[in-house]
Structure 1
């Protein structure tokens, strides 16, 4: 989990993701080895992933703020919707069957990856939607991200870049939104987890503290490496890396 956190930190700083797309599958494999009941493994993986994202995205966001990679319009209007959607998603996770969610999410991510690849050579500049529409998009990003236990970067970065936000600022702004989204989603999972059966020791609701501490302790140290890479790499190269990452994630979820 310490090694996992190191890798997640670099990816968070480089791509503006919270790391949930990496952490959730890894925890699903690792948690049973810690003796955690299989009936609650997925909920614990989702909740713990969101809690690690608070640290990872928070550290990444601070590094990007120092580097000037944050768009304040995005923070002002996208983040409120993300917060509301994140809290709603965490509450719906207890009631909505999520068997098909990975497939749906995989198709969405694959579409975003293809759009990102096609936009590398495009010179078309779009502007951000109105503030009301941006809040609406943020709510959708927050809802899907919370249900999937991720920080939303795989959705918000392509969305922002598609609407004219320069790639580095899209990554930095996504880090800020991802941190706040994770707080909202984690609170929902903690509240629902208190009434769950077979919770392991050292857990707060569905959040498993040993995994949180291990992953967060290394990820917060390595986000600066990813943030510096994001600043130094050409925009086209950054788009290619992000698109390849999205294709990998989409393939994993679809399969």
Structure 2
């Protein structure tokens, strides 16, 4: 088997794994996809100074496709508060685009450090079962604009759909948890769209980038195709299993996996 066939097989398996857990636990796949892509891109001898950037960009483009099915599912259950989505979207676009510009100016080690801190934070939050409490009133349009900008900016730095951040913010603003989750799913689409545009446009803004073949800016198209293909097939399976089995054991396994990934990346940094 040719070397490139082997890596495509790895990507197909990774996409299936990520899609399953995303559907089962409602967790975006960026936390898993980014480290996997960094490992595979390193093994393929991609330009060292752009490996982390391409991993983030490819992951964000993957979320663009997977977020559509999530958005549609919550839309069917009338769980999306569109007034919030409309008010936050301009800030999301601006913050996410600015985040992708910032990424292009950071080194791979800096990006990996930010990702390690974030992945440990998420794993610890899941382990302790932390749930934000309602503390504030939902802000007006200006407040939602700035909140969207902050959520979009952070999401672009770690290549996530913003669900964890959006749900926490909306819950603290006294939005019912079902509507918070549904609205966060809708918010994930403009985050992914703006992030994909921003990561793809880096090739135009920085024409001297050293990138692997078949890349569109920081998006590696063969990896994108593999991840989207298998994750779209396994996500519905995971979603169905949510209602037919206890997920506590699998959730514990997922948390342990996040810690293992974080530790490995930390060791590589040190």
Q: TM-score, normalised on structure 2?
A: 0.76
Please show how residues 24-43 of structure 1 align to structure 2 within 5 Å: 24-43=34-53
RMSD: 3.4
| Cα distance between partner residues in 2 of 1:96 and 1:179 | 25
> Which is further off, 54-63 or 207-216?
54-63
Please show how residues 1-255 of structure 1 align to structure 2 within 5 Å: 1-97=11-107, 98-99=110-111, 100-102=113-115, 104-106=117-119, 109=122, 113=126, 117=130, 127-194=137-204, 195-228=207-240, 232=243, 249=258, 252-253=261-262, 255=266
Alignment partner of 2:196: what SS? helix
Larger Rg: 2
CA distance 1:206–1:103, shift in 2 (3 Å): closer
| Cα distance between partner residues in 1 of 2:17 and 2:38 | 17
Alignment partner of 1:150: what SS? coil
| Cα distance between partner residues in 2 of 1:155 and 1:78 | 13
Alignment partner of 2:49: what SS? coil
Gaps of 5+ in 1: none
**Pairwise CA distance, 1:115:** 8.2
**Pairwise CA distance, 1:178:** 1.5
**Pairwise CA distance, 1:253:** 4.2
CA contact (8 A) 1:112 1:155 kept: no
CA distance 1:184–1:162, shift in 2 (3 Å): same
**Pairwise CA distance, 1:238:** 8.9
Gaps of 5+ in 2: 1-10
**Pairwise CA distance, 1:92:** 0.8
Q: TM-score, normalised on structure 1?
A: 0.79
Output one character per residue of 1:97-151: Cα deviation in whole Å (capped at 9) or x when no partner.
Answer: 53542355357546855885255xx7x6754233322221111111011011222
Output one character per residue of 1:31-78: Cα deviation in whole Å (capped at 9) or x when no partner.
Answer: 223342222111110110000000111122112222333222331223
| Cα distance between partner residues in 1 of 2:135 and 2:252 | 19
CA contact (8 A) 1:15 1:171 kept: no
